[in-house]
Structure 1
Amino acid sequence: MPLPPDEEIEAFENLVLKNSYRFTKRALIRDALQGPSPFNPSGKKTLALAGDASLRQMLVDQGRDREKSPEEIQNVITKVASNNNLNDRGIALGLDRFIVKNPGQQGFMAGKNVMSTTMEAILGAVHYDSDKNGADCENVMAALGLSWSE
């Protein structure tokens, strides 16, 4: 499957990330946008694991800064980090057009699992590309609509 060219990555940064972050290691975001295939069955799951952990940690930090109870923090994590919410946010952001699909999936919308895993993988790519900079991760979370509501 062909990887997205630089122009497509720039369009992704502009449209989906709303200019909140620019990748310096483009291979990371290309990996995050790569769908599973027979040649790469695990897809971007390692990045997704890092993104999921980063998302949850940032939500805990945001809740703690707001002096929320552990129950309130857990409720926000359950809502914001759910696969249903990640899928819905990915669709709302128009992420599907940037997901690299294998030829048999062309013309079809990414499934819920692919979309939610891609959202997590994007956060994982930012986590590593930014050298684990929390502020950069929070900016991207906000652009993706994955932060505490005010």
Structure 2
Amino acid sequence: MPTMFCGEWRDESGCAEKPESLCQKPIEVEPKHYYNSDLIWQKHGFRKVPLSCTEIIKRKQIFEIKKIRTTDSQILLWHFTVSSDTEFSIIKIENDYEKIVRPKITLVSLRIPEQGSIICKYAIRFTNPSRFFISVRLQYVIELCSRKQHDCETNKYLELKFFKL
């Protein structure tokens, strides 16, 4: 407990505003601290995040999005939010062999979207691992883009499918 409240702890490191309080002064949140979800898209030639698609993933169901690259230098961009626990992974498919490119992680992203890019035929998998009757609302944008800016293919070479676990 801090000495300010009859305890024995003090912060002499200089981090605390008052050594006896163990507390720092709050930092005001300014617009420059906000997350800008358009930045990764602008980096790859888009003005902003494209309009998202929405899917409902039922319990123990997998939703897979396949994007087929047309050149070796294409980049796979993603942006999504989910309403409940969801497993997300990226799989590279070559000669019917699957290789994990981004390991499966379980996440919930209600407010800030999950985003990323990877040079890529890849499949993006979203799995609802719930054993209960909870569906997941997925809002997503998946695009293929060449390294040359403004050469992006919106929803070309796109294959969507659902299957049960």
Q: What range is the shorter-chain TM-score in?
A: under 0.3
Larger Cα-atom Rg? 2
Give the structure with the higher percent helix.
Answer: 1
- Asked which structure has the greater RCO (Cα within 8 Å, sep 6+), the reply is 1
Normalised by the length of structure 2, the TM-score is: 0.25
